[in-house]
Amino acid sequence: MSTLSNSARLLSYVDALREGAAQEMDRDQSVFVFGLDVDDHKAIQGSTRGLLDRFGPERVFSTPLSEDAMTGVAIGAAMAGMRPIHVHIRMDFLMLCMNQLVNIAAKVHSMYGGNVRVPLVVRSMIGKSWGQGAQHSQALYSMFMHVPGLKVVAPSNAFDAKGCLIAAIRDDNPVIFVEHRLLYPLEALVPKELFVVGPGKARVCAHGDDITVVAISNMVTECLHARELLSETGIMTEVIDPVWLVPLDIETILQSARRTGRLLVVDNAWTSCGASAEIVAQVAEQAGPGAGIEVRRIGFAATTCPPSPALEAAFYPNPLTIATTIHQMVRPSAAPWYFEPERVRLACITSFRGPF
């Protein structure tokens, strides 16, 4: 990762989130963390662990089940000079907050002519696997990408989790901070000190000349596995993580896609009007037909997420389906590649075990 300091050590995504919040709370009295169950022993799967002990119940507290009002409270507190972090254990529950997020948070800076600011972070987690099912598995960030005034970030690794969270907290705008349940245990080298991974810069995670793969959130991991799988074919995949979806660093993607001539966006969400649609559309518009770029999207199957294991597996892109798609795009006339089952199995392993 770009700005590794000497202090970096292996840290999990969940611990990186926790550390980032704790350090910012230390630095800035106006930061507080609230939301359903942030202060219980499960501590949002560990991501808020220890904050209550350290900062007390005025700055770390659970709330009634009232997501709509709590979002309004967060906005009001932010306008009054605080920097709330409002936490939701599932992104699906943001549907209860839409009125406040879309009609208020996104708009007040603009509609009041710059008179107020909403330095608010809305953390939420995308659920996956173990039969989470229809209402605990959605990744609805494209709805927020649609509305001017919001920022959206979806860190895919522990380093970015910490750096983006700090950047989000310091941002004077409402930031929709998108986490993924399956990323929580994954480790990366993360500096001990405070640092920011600021808006508007994509990360090239792996270089390659044959195809540009833009991967979002958890799909970064999946795409890197797919890249691995493909190494035996000689196909070199460039994997780009946009990190911030709004503002979006389309330049990095465009440059890469111009070079490789192929763009595959692998989203961790439905494709229709999704982040993948936006990225493909921007590239198609800006590169123009002259650039001759082939584009493709994959994401969630266009249906409600089923809990039954076999269906659930088929619902998501995985390293094999991604690798197969890449292979098709790069070598359209070749026979479909046969990936050795044991390697596929290893690439597709996820360690998550329920209930949640």
Partner 1 sequence: MTPDSLATDDVEHLYWSIRRIRRVEEEIARLYPTDVIRSPVHLSIGQEAISVGVIDALADDDVIACSYRSHAAYLAKGGSLKAMMAEMYGKDTGCCRGKGGSMHLISTDAGVLGSSAVVGTHIPMAAGYALAFKLQDKERVGGVRVAAVFFGDGATEEGVFSETINFAALHVLPVLFVCENNGYAIHTPLAKRWATGELVERVKTYGIPAHHVADGDIFRIRALTAEAVASMRRGGGPFFIECLTYRWREHVGPAEDFAAGYRGREEMLPWVLSDQVPRLGAMLDAGTRERIDREIEREITEAVHFAEESPFPEIKELLTHVHAI
Ligand X SMILES: Cc1ncc(C[n+]2csc(CCOP(=O)(O)OP(=O)(O)O)c2C)c(N)n1
Query: Binders of ligand X among 23-42, rule CB under 6 A?
Result: 36
What would the x/- binding string for a copy of itself be over residues 179 to 218, using CB under 8 A?
----------------------------------------
State how beta strands 151-153 and 244-246 pair.
Answer: antiparallel
Q: Cβ-count burial of 350 within 10 angstroms (0-12 exposed, 13-18 middle, 19+ buried)?
A: middle
Please tell me whether residue 124 binds a copy of itself under the rule CB under 8 A: no
Q: Cβ-count burial of 58 within 10 angstroms (0-12 exposed, 13-18 middle, 19+ buried)?
A: exposed
Please tell me whether residue 344 binds partner 1 under the rule CB under 8 A: no
Please tell me whether residue 93 binds ligand X under the rule CB under 6 A: yes
Please tell me whether residue 72 binds a copy of itself under the rule CB under 8 A: no
Minimum Å gap between C-beta 89 and ligand X is 6
Other Cβ atoms less than 10 A from the Cβ of 99: the count is 12
Binding to partner 1, residues 148-177 (CB under 8 A): 148-149, 151, 172-173
Distances in Å between the Cα of 18 and the Cα atoms of 23, 26, 49, 230, 234 are 9, 12, 7, 35, 40
Helix H or strand E encompassing 31? strand 31-34
Establish whether 67 is a catalytic residue.
Answer: yes
Question: Which residue in the set 12, 48, 100, 325 belongs to the binding site for partner 1 (CB under 8 A)?
Answer: 100
Identify which of residues 36 and 330 has a Cβ nearer to ligand X in the complex. 36
Helix H or strand E encompassing 177? strand 175-180
Select the span of 2-10, 57-65, 175-183, 285-293 touching a copy of itself (CB under 8 A): 285-293
Establish whether 340 is a catalytic residue.
Answer: no
Minimum Å gap between C-beta 137 and a copy of itself is 11
Of 110, 102, 99, 69, the C-alpha closest to 86 is 69
Minimum Å gap between C-beta 95 and partner 1 is 8
Binding to ligand X, residues 50-69 (CB under 6 A): 65, 67
Cβ density class 22-36: b for 16+ within 10 Å, e for less: bbbbeeeebbbbbbb
Identify which of residues 93 and 244 has a Cβ nearer to ligand X in the complex. 93
CA angle (27, 48, 50) in 5-degree steps: 75
Other Cβ atoms less than 10 A from the Cβ of 281: the count is 11
Please tell me whether residue 96 binds ligand X under the rule CB under 6 A: yes
Question: Which residue in the set 28, 54, 303, 345 belongs to the binding site for a copy of itself (CB under 8 A)?
Answer: 303
Binding region for ligand X (CB under 6 A): 36, 65, 67, 93, 96
Catalytic residue annotation? 67, 136
